[in-house]
Structures are given as C-alpha cells and as structure tokens.
Amino acid sequence: MPLYKTFTPNSQTTVKIWKITETFDGLMQGLVLKPESADRVLSMKSEWHQRGFLCARHLLMDLGYTDLDLYYDNNGKPHLKDGKCISITHSFLFVGVIVSNAEVGIDIEMQRDKIARIAPKFIDYEFNYLKKDSKNYINELTIIWCIKESLYKLFATPGMVFKDHFLVIPFMIQDHETVAWIDFENKKYRYNTTFLEFEGFTCAYVIA
C-alpha cells in the first residue's frame, strides 16, 4: 500500500496522503463500493480521476471506514455517518484525506506556471505582499490557492468567491503555516492554516 504520508495535527485529527502507483484494476481489489459509487467511478472519463476516487476509498479503509460510511450533502460536501468530519482531495499522483472531530478542509495541487495566469481570478489582497519576480512566486500562489480551496471545502456555502471572501495573510514558505480569514455576509472567521510541499505538489489543510 503506497501510503505516502500520515500525520496527526492534533489528538482528534488525522491526515493521510496516498501516492498513486497502482492500476485501476489493482485498486478495485479489496474495495466494497456502494452501487452509486461504482456507477460514478465507471462514468469518469479520466483514469486519473478513477484511480484517485478509488485511492480515497483505500485511505478511508486505512482510517477504519468504508465507502458505505461516506455520503455527500446537497452542496457536495462529504460526511461520515459516525458524525466525524472529513475532507478529500486529489491532484494527479496524490490523494489526501483528513478526518477530525472538528470541521476540516484539505487541498492538494500540482505546482504549475499556469497558476500565474489565473491568479487575478482568486487573489486580491494578497497581491499587496506577493512579488512576481520572486523565485517562489508560483509556490506562493499555489499555497494561497490550496488554503482558499481548503477553506471553501470546510465552509461549503454557495456564493463564496475566493477573490472576494477569502484572505491569506503574509507568510514564509519555511514556516508551513499562516492565518486566513473568511469575510462573508457581514461575518468574519479566522482560521489557522497549515501547508507543506512535496515532489512538486502543495498541500494545505485547515481545522476549525
């Protein structure tokens, strides 16, 4: 089992990351899927998406759950039947799952230059401290995206816009943490966020 990383940010939270090396058929072995999950994975056009979907179920098993314990609400947010909170992410080679007693969000993204082109779509305040000529510019943009995506997954509320409602304060990559804010419908929410980098990918997660 290619479990890539496991860590426990606190006594009630576990994060697991899987590096995909298996074939689709190999990943199907040992899994029990709900009929709707089986239909969903077979309908996916990308084999990467199929394999990521199955890897997430293997991570669930490693956490003591099965696909039968997982369900999604009307906003697409995953939940566990025992009441614990869960968030799932997949990007190319890597799949991540976080489970906690508190609300959580996690995101993994590949570090790619094209993020600079779309930065104005998800960044506003952060341009005040980012330096486009910095050697870390792409990494910093990817961290900000992952943090905002994690917050969006945690909050799971329609109408939220990364650029308008999410704010990440200045950070140093080597610190692996920063503070982020949600400013939405006249309410402000503060979150401590954590991020890490590995093999050209960035992962960020947030715990309420």
Residue 1 has pLDDT above 70, yes or no: no
Mean pLDDT score across all residues of the chain: 95
For the segment 41-52, the average pLDDT, to the nearest whole number, is: 94
Domains of the chain (ranges; CATH) run 3-102 (3.90.470.20), 107-207 (3.90.470.20)
- Digit-coded pLDDT (tens) for 47-76: 999 999 999 999 999 999 999 999 999 988
Q: Locate 174 and state its tokens.
A: 């080597």
Burial 48-69, CB ≥16 within 10 A → b, else e: eebbbbbbbbbbbeebebebeb
Instruction: Quote the radius of gyration of the chain (alpha carbons, Å).
Output: 17
Q: What is the pTM of this model?
A: 0.95
